[in-house]
């Protein structure tokens, strides 16, 4: 499912226009993005947690030259499913 399909499904569920659905999705994404940029954790009970994790510096190989290089530490966005959501997902998957 891509963003457009997601917006259509959300709009149907909320019985609203796709224009309103798009505004809602974009607002949610913006709130998540802004908070992650401020290193804030976003906990949605029953769904999961968005947070920023730090990847430590490591060695890697340059794809062309195969030379060993240092890959600097960096911060990356992360999402972890809640246990409740994961359990429901596993139960549904088992039934299929």
**pLDDT tens string 63-93:** 999 999 999 999 999 999 999 999 988 888 7
Considering the domain boundaries, does residue 60 fall inside one? yes
Residues 15-30 have pLDDT tens digits of: 999 999 999 999 999 9
Judge if 57 and 90 occupy the same domain.
Answer: yes
| Structural domain boundaries enclosing 18 | 1-40
Q: Nearest-5° angle of CA 36, CA 37, CA 41?
A: 25
Same domain for 3 and 33? Answer: yes
Which tokens sit at 24? Answer: 């809602």
What is the Rg, in whole angstroms, of the alpha carbon atoms belonging to the chain?
19
Q: What is the pTM of this model?
A: 0.77
The number of folded domains in the chain is: 2
* 28 and 54 both lie in a single domain: no
């Amino acid at each position: 499912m891509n963003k457009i399909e997601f917006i259509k499904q959300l709009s149907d569920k909320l019985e609203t226009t796709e224009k309103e659905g798009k505004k809602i999705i974009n607002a949610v994404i913006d709130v998540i993005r802004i908070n992650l940029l401020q290193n804030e954790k976003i906990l949605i009970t029953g769904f999961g947690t968005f947070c920023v994790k730090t990847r430590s510096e490591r060695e890697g190989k340059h794809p062309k030259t195969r030379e060993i290089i240092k890959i600097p530490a960096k911060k990356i966005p992360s999402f972890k499913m809640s246990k409740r959501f994961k359990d429901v997902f596993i139960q549904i998957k088992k039934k299929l």
